Amino acid sequence: MTDARPLGADEATFIAAARSGDTTQFALITERHRRELQVHCYRMLANYEDAQDVTQETFLRAWEKRKSFKGHAALRTWLYRIATNACLDFLEKRNDRTPVPSGLSDPGSEVLYLQPYPDRMLPEDPQESVVARETIELAFIVAVQHLPPRQRAVFILRDVLGWPASKAADALELTVASVTSALQRARVTMREQLPDRRLDWRSPATHELSNDERGVVKSYIDAHERNDLDGLMSLLRDDLRFAMLPEPGTSVITAKDAVDGWVSGGLFQRGHDDWRCITTTVNRMPAAVLYLRTPDDPEYRLFTIAVLHIVDGKIAELTGFDATDKPWLGLPPTLSSDKSRIVDESSARAAVTEVTAE
C-alpha cells in the first residue's frame, strides 16, 4: 500500500540522484532527515550511541535501495520505514547481550543500556509529534522498552508519529488487523508503566522547563556545591526512584536512604569533596552536570549528569549517568578552579555550545 500523493520536489530530486548515482546530492537530500530519524531510533533503542549507528545504517540501506524508491510515498516516510526495520534487526541481535529490560517504573531493575539524549541534537525545527517532551523523557523511553520490538515499532509509528494503521502495516509488512491488535496491547502496557503520566502523546505538550523545575535544579546545584546533605535531602521525595546507570540498583528508596548511600559510596566528604555544577537539559528534562575537584587537582573534572523528574517542587526521579568519555553530550570535560559559577540554563548552554564548536 502506498500514499496517494503527487511527486514532490524532494522525491523528484532524490529519484534523479538515485538514477545518476550522485552521492553528493543523495547525501544533501537525506541528511536533512538525520536528526528526526535519530530520535526515532533512540525511542526504539533507548541508547544514544546505538541510535547514531542505526541512523547511519539507515542511510547506507537507503543508498543500496535507492532505485526501489518510486516516489509513491514521501521520502520521509520511506526513510522512516527503513530506519524502523533497521532498529528491529538491531534489537534482534541485541537481545543476545542485554538483560530483559525493565525500568524506573519497576523497582529493582533498569534498562542498563539507557543513555540520555542531548537536547542540542534534537531537530532544530521539530515537528511536534517528533520530539514532544513527553515522548522523549526518560520514563517514556524506559516504558517503551517493556514492549516487544515489533509491538514497540507499531506503538511509535501509530501513537507517537501518528501514522494510519495502513501505513504502519505496510512499513512492517503486517496486516492492518495485526497492527491494530499490537497497538491495543502496547497501550495497555504503557498505561501500566506510566500510570501517573499523561498518555495523549499526539496532543500539544510544552517543551519549556517550568519555573518550578528551574528553581529545584538551582537548589539541587547549590546543595551540591555546599556539600549540604540536609538541603539535598529536603529536595527529594520520600518515594524517590533513583538509578545510577549503567550500574544496577534502581529502587524506590527514601530520601535519607539515597543520601546515606551516596555518603557510604565515598561522596560528600566534608572538607574533601569540592563540587561545581552547571545546568542543562537532556530528553527535554532538567539536568545538573556535576564536576568534582579533589584537593590535589587544579581543575574540576566532569563526573556525572543527574537527570531530574520534578513533581510539585520535589525530585521524584533522579537518574544519574556517567558523563565521562561521552563527547556527544557536548559537555566541557573540565572547569577551571577560577572559572565563575555557571548556574543558569542559558549560560550552561552557551558553555556547551562553545566547547562543542572548538
pLDDT tens for 147-192 read 999 999 999 999 999 999 999 999 999 999 999 999 999 999 999 9
Q: Each residue of 110-127: pLDDT tens digit?
A: 588 999 999 999 987 655
Maximum Cα–Cα distance across the chain: 69
**pLDDT cut 70: percent of the chain above it:** 79
Level-2 CATH architecture, domain 9-193: Orthogonal Bundle (1.10)
Buried b (16+ CB within 10 A) or exposed e, 335-357: beeeeeebbebeebbebbeeeee
More confident residue, 132 or 93: 93
* Angle (CA) 67 160 308, round 5°: 125
Residue 61 has pLDDT above 50, yes or no: yes
Q: Which CATH number fits domain 211-357: 3.40.190.10, 1.10.645.10, 3.10.450.50, 3.40.50.10190?
A: 3.10.450.50
What pLDDT shows up at residue 277? Answer: 95
Proportion of the chain above pLDDT 90, given as a percent? 57
Domain ranges, ordered by start, for the chain: 9-193, 211-357
pLDDT at 324: 93
Looking up cell 530520535 gives 39
The reply to whether the predicted model has a pTM over 0.75 is yes
Q: Which long-range contacts (CB under 8 A, 24 or more apart) does 265-268 make?
A: 268/227, 268/229
CB 61, CB 41: distance < 8 Å: no
